[in-house]
Every structure is written in structure tokens, then in C-alpha cells.
Chains A and B, each alone.
Chain A
Amino acid sequence: MNARARLWGVVAIVLAVIWAFPVYWIGNSAFQPVEALRSPNPSFLPDFSASGFGRVFDDSFVDSLKLSLTVTLLAIVAAVLCGFVAAVAISRFRFRGRRSFIFTVLAIQMIPPEALFISQYKMLNDWGLLNSVVGLGLLYSALILPFTVWMLRGFVDGIPIDLEEAAMTDGCSRTRAFFTITFPLLAPGLVASSVYGFLQAWNEYTLAVVVMDPSNRTLPLWLKGLTDVSNEAVDWPAVMAGATLVATPVIILFMIVQNRMTSGMVGGAVKG
């Protein structure tokens, strides 16, 4: 039995190594000099030559970083604001059409970008919004809004309405009761849904390909552009350094949200 358990432990470690390896390989290659990556034998340990980062950190990176930050921020603000009030409506009110609204939102959530990008392209083209922050931001906010509504609604549900009602019997208006009692408790939900929106918009590639010009690249397009040169000329340490720059904030945020999600689930179970 013990030997068997140990065997499964070894299998788990092997799997862990396989799954983490491509991530390790990005970091390792990012810290190699170019010559090392063009030698007949690969180097498995990083050399801590940061020259790849130096070559990749140029104006085009900064431009793309600014563009990505702007579009992402725009999409998050729009989606979280609109999503928040909609979540309050479906959580705190019972009204005709409520279930239809929820159904529509969930159904939209399932629609892949591929199924709409042709007409979204035509639409933005007509409105003169192709290759613009506003155009891409609009599509991104529509993309992340459904899940934002669904997620925030869960958070609003989690805060007992009794507190609000108590404040209302003490003479508070409904709106005031909501904003003084419930709203402060929603901060974690607003943070979580913003992080979710950030991850979506920051990583998005499909709609960015459709909407943006090569002159105006979000970070994923910029990163992809680094490998567009002919195969022999790809500066792999620089590409991997670029991948590191793009991925690091995402991995950090993802780990934070992952923790919060797990503790949120535990919290929910305790509360019953």
C-alpha cells in the first residue's frame, strides 16, 4: 500500500513537471543570450542575461502597453458599472421579465466571438470606430458584461437584506439603506469582477485581430508580432522576455482570485 502511494506520488510529480515545463521554458529562455538559443544544444538553466528584456522593452511595447491598459480599463469600468446596477436589480427586486433577462444574459455568455465578429466588424467600420480604443472597448465590455452581472449578483445575494430593511424601518430610504449598509460589503465582489474583467480583456486576441490595425496593437497582438519575422530571424530570448512581461501580471492576479474564490466557497459553506 505504501509503495503504491509513493508510486502515485511520483506520477503526480512527473505530471506537474510536464505541465509547468512550458511556463518554465519561457522564463528560462527569456534569460538566455541569443547565441545560447541558437547553439546545437539547449541550455536548461537560466543564464540571467537580461538583454532580451532590454531589446523587447522599446517604444512599440510601451505603446501597446498603454493601448492595452486603456482598452482594458474602459471595458472594466463600463462592464462593472452596468453589471453592478443590473445585478442589484435582479438580486433585490422581483419584477416581470426578470427571468428572461437572466436567461438572455446567460445565453449571450455562451456565444463565441467567432459567431459575431463579422458583423461587429461591419458595424464598427460604418461608425468609423475600427482600429479605435472606443470600438474595441465597446466590444470588450459587451464580452465581459454577462459574466460580471452573474458574478456580482451572487455577491449581492450573499448580503442579507435584513440589514437594509432594519435601516429602512429606522427611516432610511431604500437607496440610502443600500448605499450605506450593503454597498461597502460589496467591495470584494467589485474587486473580484474587475479582476475577472481585467484577465478577459488583457488576454483577448480574437476581437483585437478583427478590430485593430497592425499599427495599433494591444499587447497580445504585439507579442504575436514579435514572432512574425521569418523563422531564422526570430529573437527568441526577446520573444520569451515579451511573454514574461505579458504573463506576469496575469499570473499574479489569477493566483489572488483563485485564492479568493476558494475561500469564498468555504465562507459560503460556513454561512450555510
Chain B
Amino acid sequence: MSSTRLRRKAGPYALLVPAILVLVVGMAYPLGRQLMLSFHEFGRAQQFGQPAPWVGLDNYRELVTDRTMWTVIARSLAFCFVNASITMVLGTLVAVLMKRVATAPRLILQISMLLAWAMPVIAAMTAWQWLFDTRYGLVNWSLRKVGFASFDGHNWLIDPLSFFFVASVIIIWMSVPFVAFTAYAALTQVSEETLEASHLDGATAIQRFRHIVYPTIKPVLTIVALLQIVWDLRVFAQINFLQNVGGTPSETHLLGTYIYSLGIGQNDYGSASAMAMFVLVLTLVLTVRYVWSLLKEEPR
């Protein structure tokens, strides 16, 4: 009897063991190790096998004082903010549009958005690289056709601002479908009767949106915006790809690519780890409330 009870008590823990093992080896152990790395200095001597000296918080001090690091952080936050905002606005507008139009155009729009959403990131990147190609790209060809002769052989990736414009176009193109579908699902929850009643009572379209539609979809939009911010901080694939095909890395680094170039490029594991810890903490700070709200519905 007592052995059965023990088995029943230990049962759920035993079931968690495999998952915990994978997460410890793949995530927790590297995390602890990264924390340690971030307190050490990796210079030239360490490349020749010297042990790395302990430097306390020096690498973190660098985050704020080193001009390059500080620029990369500011640039990433700005890039993230711009992309997340545009994606949210466009996605919500597309959702409103889906709600408004007849079934046929809505289905066509949904299929098209689904296609863009499903595209593997690197396949999509090659498509956009080809569209923005200097010599044979469709974008330059179209701009020439409508009268901008200067786009003959124009390179879109050399100038950093233009580089980030291209990156933003791609990232927004990839991200809008998710926002649109989620916001559309939320919009279908808005009560038609209330809308109709307020319409009869003389509420304008803007008033109806502000007082009826917006409060209904706000919780969903908040979560989507949060996820969008977190995702737009992790754009390593897109930036790395564009840097490889023509950008100037030193002027176009965002957090991910900079950590990579510091750590794996220059073996400066200390500074790279400090910056990675910054990204990690930033992400957790941004998302902890959302995760907590998911947990609230959990029975104790």
C-alpha cells in the first residue's frame, strides 16, 4: 500500500525527468556557463590557451560605455520599435479589411497572406535578394520604368539606411500575416448586435471602433504586440543573410549579429556573453507579465 502511494507521488516527477534533462543540457547549463563567461576577459592571450582572467562586471560596464556596443543596442531597439509598430498597424488594418470585404476577396487575401506566412525564412530571403538585385532585380527595373533612371544598377544594401529599409520591408512582409490572422479572429468576436445598435443610435464609425471594437480586441492585440517586439529583437537570420550578400557588417549589426561577430568571429566570449545576457534579460523582462498571465489560469 505504502509503496503504491510512493509510486503515485513520484510518478509525475519521473515523467518530467526527460524534458528537464533536455532543457538542462540545451538551455540551463549553457545559461549558467554564459553567466560565468560574461565575468571573464577573453583577449589575444586566451586564443593561445591562457586561462581567461576574472574581470567582474567589466564586460557589463562596456555595454554602456563602449561606443560600438551602445550604438548596436540603440540601433536594435529602434529597428525593433519601427518594425513592430508598422507590422501591428498594417496587420490590424488588413484584419479590418478582411472583416469588411465579401467572401471571395477575403479568401484570396487570406490565401495570399498564408503563403507569405508559410515561407521558410531563407527561401523568402533569396526571393527578396533577387527582387532587389542590383543589375537584374525587378525593383530597380520597375523604378526605371516609372522614370527613376538613377536606379539603373542601384545597390540597395551598401548604404546602411537603405539596408535597414530592405530588411524592414522583408520582416514586415513576413510578420503582417500572423498579426492579421490573429486580429481577424479577435474581430469576429466583436458583437454585431452592439455595433448595429450603436449605429442606429448615431455613433460614427470612429466612435464605434473606439468604444466597441477596440476594447474587444485589445487583449489579443497587446499579446501580439508583445510577441512582435520579442520577435523583432531576434532577426539574426535576416540581417546575417543581407550582410552576407552585400551589407557593410560593421554599420549594420543588430544585437544578434553583433554577438555572433564578437563571440564566434573574434573569440571575445566575455563581451559577447555580457551582451547576450542583456538580450536574455530584456526578453524576460518584456515577457514575464505575459507568461505570468498564462499561468494565472492554471489550477494550483
Binding site for B on A (CB under 8 A): 5, 8-13, 15-17, 19-20, 22-23, 25-26, 29, 37-38, 41-42, 78-79, 81-83, 85-86, 88-90, 92-95, 97-99, 101-108, 110-123, 138-139, 141-143, 145-146, 149, 202-203, 205-206, 209-210, 220, 223-224, 226-228, 231-232, 234, 236, 239-240, 242-244, 246-247, 250-251, 254-255, 258
6 example contacts (A-B, Cβ-Cβ < 8 A) are as follows A19-B109, A101-B20, A116-B27, A231-B134, A236-B133, A240-B126
Chain B residues, Cβ within 8 Å of A122 = 30, 33, 37, 269
B interface residues, tally (CB under 8 Å): 96
Say whether B30 contacts A258, CB under 8 Å: no
How many angstroms between the C-alpha atoms of A210 and B108 in the bound complex?
39
Contact call B295/A220, Cβ cutoff below 8 A? no
When the two chains form their complex, are residues B233 and A13 in contact, meaning their CB atoms are under 8 A apart?
A: no
B residues sitting closer than 8 Å to A (CB atoms) are 9, 11-13, 15-16, 18-23, 25-27, 29-31, 33-34, 37, 94, 97-98, 100-102, 104-106, 108-109, 111-131, 133-136, 138, 141, 173, 176-177, 230, 233-234, 236-237, 240-241, 244-246, 255-256, 259-260, 263-264, 269, 272-273, 276-277, 279-280, 283-284, 287-288, 291-292, 294-295, 298-300
CB distance from B118 to the nearest CB of A (A): 4
Is B112's CB under 8 angstroms from A250's CB?
Answer: no
- Cβ-defined partner of A254 (8 Å) among B98, B118, B230, B237: B118
Residues of B within 8 A of A142 (CB): 22-23, 25-27
Q: A25-B131, A121-B264 are in contact. Are A106 and B291 (CB under 8 A)?
A: yes
Q: Which of A10, A26, A138 contacts B127 (CB 8 A)?
A: A26
Contact present for B100 and A13 (CB under 8 Å) = no
Q: Is the CB of A210 within 8 A of B26?
A: no
Contact for B101 among A8, A123, A139, A246, CB less than 8 A: A8
